Structure 1
Amino acid sequence: MKKLSTLFSCILLVGAGKMAIAQTEMNILKFNNIPEFQSYFKHTGKDMPLISGHRGGTTPGYPENCIATFENTLKHTPAIFEMDPRLTKDSVVVVLHDDSLGRTITGKGKLNSYTYAELQQFRLKDPQGNVTNYKIPTLKEMILWSKGKTILNLDHKDVPLAMTAKILRECKNDMIMLTVHKASEAKFYVDDNPNHMLSAFVLTKKAFYEYEKAGVPWKNMIAYIGPKNQPENKEIMELLHAKGVMCMISAAPSYDKLKSPAERAEHYRETFTMGADILESDLPIEVAEAIKPIMPSTGYQQKFWSKVKVK
């Protein structure tokens, strides 16, 4: 009995050691220049499945749109991250999905009725509604943190395009992705800076041809094609793939909502086997585990993946 107890203790120690190692390493994406950055998102047909953490990911103890949450996800998998810039009363750009307080941050009322200084009294909540010690971050803080670690995809809420472009210049980080909902927004960004990478809504053939007519370079974009990978996506996906454009499905409003982990995993894998290149999810850590059986042993994107020690 004593021997069994000792053996069990050793197993626990080994397991704890492995967990400690996992918790002190972070997966990062690192590019030396813009051509490398753009090539990472070029569809070739022989690419690694890519994961995007929707608002950073949904994990107990970690609020959405929070640097600590992004870092937690990166401890488990290489990923890019969708996030949500918004304006305060005094025109500071912070990161919060909702236009009001309450769901993800303590406090009440509209976000834009508070100055940035006033928002410092509040704390972010985790997905279960528990209050954490984290404060609302600014967009600049997020961009500066991301450099040399990952790619942020800035959704378009209420921040004027010109203000977003100005912040990127001030942060001196061109390796950021910008969500655009139509061709005119894409044209604005590439005219402002030909290095801008876009996450473009291309839900229809009409939208595809509008981007083409606007002269937006295909090498400057990935395409969001909907919340599900289904037969209706096939034609638009083929058009985009022919241009070298990666296609992204967002599971946040669809597959992430399924109650069974096994069912979610099946749909995550199927999304890639049906041809999608990027899966955006509220559960990026779960997605990374689910797609292990279909993950190629090698691929172009791997050369930009590495691990760093973290505290």
Structure 2
Amino acid sequence: MRPFLKSSVLRLAVLLALTIWSCKPQQPIAHILAEFHNPSSSYVMVAAHRAAHNGYPENSLPAIRHAIDLGVDIIELDVKVTTDSVVVINHDRTIDRTTNGTGDPEAYAWKDLQQFRLEMPDGTLTNERIATFEEALLLVKGKAMIDIDIKTSHLKPIVDVITQTDTWDHIFFFDNDYLALQEVRDRQPGAMLMPRAYSYQMADSALMLFKPPVVHIDHSFYTEEVCQLIQNHGARICLNALGTQDSIIRSGSLQKALDNLLKYQANIIQTDEPELLIPALEAIGRRTSGKQ
């Protein structure tokens, strides 16, 4: 099939998938967990980066609700801890970019952080405040998994909130700092981890150290060899669409993006465009269970 015809067929299939998908109920957590623990499945899991934040402040409760409504499998959130040990959702070292406040969120007590409001990327001020991790967990519980991007050295409060909300089976921790991941395991021996690797050798070490259910790799070494290594250890392969591939998705070149993302069997894709990626995967049959 000629490339332009192939692209047109995919776009029509995506439109059909969007129509069907918009009428479907959200995925129950039992289905999501079954897929997560089945790395040989052809089902491609979608992770919403900083929640589904197109039209919403990133890492906010409305962005989390939107991600749930879209039917994403995994919601990626960034966590910090206040001076009074409240775990909050925030990505940057400071709150300058995302709120009308300034400074390090970990230098504030929770009650003082509540005075600030979240901003949209264009600077528009909203009525939303920085959310607590507990609020996020209670909102997501039973509906999706959470990928915790560790942005703090204060891990005990995070562990405590997960225990209090009884959501350990929903959670996995992401970091390239293997000492931080080991501390998580020391505090909660059964905790699920997603180590980040930057080479075949680092992926091999992560698999041996943690026996993780998933390894995060980069496009720079997204090869058949490294993917086979991860699959042979019974783990899923997480790859970012962030940046280049998301730009291709936004441009409408869906087939090109899917070819780039799926060519070596990555089966968790983190994206800023879950609204577009999910129906595109639906259209090619990669959101149904089955062997690859």
Asked if TM exceeds 0.5, the reply is yes
- Match in the other structure for 2:70: 76
- Matching residue of 1:201: 196
CA deviation after TM superposition for structure 1 residue 31, in Å? 2.5
Q: Note the C-alpha offset of 1:110.
A: 2.6
User: CA 1:121–1:26 in 2, change beyond 3 Å: closer, same or farther?
Assistant: farther
- Partner residue of 2:49 out of 35, 49, 54: 54
How many Å separate the matches in 2 of 1:184 and 1:98?
21
Aligned partner of 2:285: which letter? M
* 5+ long unaligned stretches in structure 2: 1-17
2:262 maps to which of 269, 272, 286: 272
2:57 corresponds, among 46, 56, 63, to 63
What is the one-letter code of the residue matched to 1:43? Answer: P
Q: How far off its partner does 1:212 sit?
A: 4.1
CA distance in 1, matches of 2:71, 2:33: 18
Is 1:105 aligned to 2:104, yes or no?
no
Q: Which residue of 2 aligns with 1:178?
A: 173
**Cα deviation code 1:95-153 (max 9, x no counterpart):** 01112123211122332332211121211122333222211111111122221011111
Q: 1:75 to 1:171 in 2, by over 3 A?
A: closer
Match of 1:10 in 2: none
Which residue of the partner structure matches residue 140 of structure 1?
Answer: 134
Distance 1:298 1:39, change over 3 A: closer
SS at structure 1 position matched to 2:253: helix
TM-score, normalised relative to structure 1:
0.77
Match of 2:193, as an amino acid?
A: L
Within the candidate set 39, 43, 55, 2:39 is matched to: 43
1:1-311 → structure 2 map (5 Å cutoff) = 22=22, 27-31=26-30, 37=33, 40-44=36-40, 46-60=41-55, 62-175=56-169, 176-214=171-209, 216-218=210-212, 221-226=213-218, 228=219, 232-258=222-248, 261-263=251-253, 266-296=256-286, 298-299=288-289
CA contact (8 A) 2:238 2:267 kept: yes
Shift of 1:298: 3.4
Q: How far did 1:81 drift?
A: 0.9
Rounded Cα–Cα distance in structure 2 between residues aligned with 1:300 and 1:182: 34
1:31 and 1:167 map into 2 onto residues whose CA distance is: 21
Larger radius of gyration: 1
Contact (CA 8 Å) 1:26, 1:76: kept in 2 or not? no
Q: Distance in 1 between matches of 2:248 and 2:263?
A: 19
The alpha carbon displacement at 1:265 in A equals 5.7
- The letter for the 2-side match of 1:255 is Q
Identity %: 22
- Give the CA deviation at 1:76: 2.5
| 1:151-170 CA-partner distances (Å, limit 9, x unpaired) | 11110111423332232222
Pair 102,207 (structure 1): closer, same or farther in 2 beyond 3 Å: same
Per the alignment, do residues 192 and 52 of structure 1 end up closer, same or farther by CA in structure 2, a change over 3 Å counting? same
The gaps in structure 1 that reach 5 residues or longer are 1-17, 302-311
**In 2, Cα distance between equivalents of 1:76 and 1:257:** 20
